[in-house]
Structure 1
Amino acid sequence: MSTTIALLEELVGFDTTSSQSNLALVERVADRLEGLGARVRLSHDDGRSKANILASFGPQAPGGVILSGHTDVVPVDDQNWSSDPFRLTERDGKLYGRGAVDMKGFVAACLAAANGFAVADLVRPIHIALSYDEEVGCLGVPRLIDDLLAHEEKPALAIIGEPTGMRLGDRHRGFLGFRTRFEGKAAHSSDPSAGASAIYPAADFVGFLKSVGHRAGAGIDQATVNIGRIEGGSAINIVPSACEVLWEFRPVTPQDADETELLIAAYLARAMPPEVRQSTRRHVHVPPLSATGEEPALVLAAALGGIGPPFAMPFGTEAGFFQAAGMSAVVCGPGSIAQAHLPDEWIERSQLDAADAFLARLAGWASRR
Structure 2
Amino acid sequence: MTASVTLLQELIGFDTTSSRSNLALVERIADRLDHLGARVRLSHDDDRRKANVLASFGPQAPGGVVLSGHTDVVPVDEQNWSSDPFRLAERDGKLYGRGCADMKGFVAACLAAATGFAATDLARPIHIALSYDEEVGCLGVPRLIADLLEHEEKPGFAIVGEPTGMRLGDCHRGFLGFRTRFEGKAAHSSDPSAGASAIYPAADFVGFLKSIGHRAGVGIDRTTVNVGRIEGGSAINIVPSACEITWEFRPVTAQEADETERLVAAYLARTAPPDVRSSLHRHVHVPPLSPAADEPALGLAAALGGIGPPFAMPFGTEAGFFQAAGISTVVCGPGSIAQAHQPDEWIECSQLDAVDAFLARLTAWANRRQS
TM-score by length of 2: 0.91
Q: How far did 1:131 drift?
A: 1.0
The superposition leaves residues 114-146 of structure 1 with CA deviations (integer Å, 9 ceiling, x where unpaired) of 112112222221110011122222221111111
Matched, 1:105 2:99: no
Amino acid at match of 2:150: A
The answer as to whether partners of 1:221 and 1:312 remain within 8 angstroms in 2 is no
Distance 1:246 1:81 in 2: 27
Q: How far did 1:248 drift?
A: 1.2
Cα 1:74–1:190 change in 2 (3 A) is closer
The answer as to whether partners of 2:215 and 2:222 remain within 8 angstroms in 1 is no
Distance 1:280 1:57 in 2: 44
Aligned to 1:15: 15
Distance 2:227 2:275 in 1: 24
Distance 1:85 1:127 in 2: 29
The answer as to whether partners of 2:58 and 2:124 remain within 8 angstroms in 1 is yes
233-242 or 339-348, larger mean C-alpha shift: 233-242
Question: Secondary structure of the residue that 2:220 maps to in structure 1?
Answer: coil
Matched, 1:120 2:120: yes
Q: How far did 1:311 drift?
A: 1.2
Question: Secondary structure of the residue that 1:108 maps to in structure 2?
Answer: helix
Distance 2:285 2:117 in 1: 33
Aligned to 2:302: 302
Q: Figure out how many residues of one structure are paired with residues of the other and give that number.
A: 369
8-17 or 46-55, larger mean C-alpha shift: 8-17
The superposition leaves residues 277-320 of structure 1 with CA deviations (integer Å, 9 ceiling, x where unpaired) of 21111222222222232211111111111111111212221111
The answer as to whether partners of 1:101 and 1:339 remain within 8 angstroms in 2 is yes
The answer as to whether partners of 1:164 and 1:336 remain within 8 angstroms in 2 is yes
The 5 Å alignment of 1:118-157 reads 118-157=118-157
Q: How far did 1:218 drift?
A: 5.4
The superposition leaves residues 194-216 of structure 1 with CA deviations (integer Å, 9 ceiling, x where unpaired) of 65443454344334323322235
The 5 Å alignment of 1:24-43 reads 24-43=24-43
Aligned to 1:339: 339
Q: How far did 1:190 drift?
A: 7.9
Distance 1:236 1:96 in 2: 42
Amino acid at match of 2:181: R
The 5 Å alignment of 1:168-207 reads 168-186=168-186, 196-207=196-207
Amino acid at match of 2:100: A
Q: How far did 1:148 drift?
A: 1.0
Question: Secondary structure of the residue that 2:105 maps to in structure 1?
Answer: helix
Distance 1:343 1:193 in 2: 46
Q: How far did 1:185 drift?
A: 3.8
Amino acid at match of 1:342: Q
299-308 or 174-183, larger mean C-alpha shift: 174-183
The answer as to whether partners of 2:215 and 2:223 remain within 8 angstroms in 1 is no
Question: Secondary structure of the residue that 1:28 maps to in structure 2?
Answer: helix
Aligned to 1:72: 72
Amino acid at match of 2:180: T
Cα 1:303–1:276 change in 2 (3 A) is same
Distance 2:91 2:22 in 1: 28
The answer as to whether partners of 1:252 and 1:290 remain within 8 angstroms in 2 is no
The superposition leaves residues 206-257 of structure 1 with CA deviations (integer Å, 9 ceiling, x where unpaired) of 3432332223555222111122344445677766543332221112344432
The superposition leaves residues 139-179 of structure 1 with CA deviations (integer Å, 9 ceiling, x where unpaired) of 21111111111111221211110111101111122222211
Distance 2:44 2:65 in 1: 23
Distance 2:135 2:320 in 1: 15
Distance 2:4 2:237 in 1: 61
Distance 1:315 1:209 in 2: 20
Amino acid at match of 1:135: E
The alignment-based identity, stated in percent, is 83
Cα 1:252–1:156 change in 2 (3 A) is farther
Structure 1, unpaired ranges of 5+:
none
Aligned to 1:357: 357
Structure 2, unpaired ranges of 5+:
none
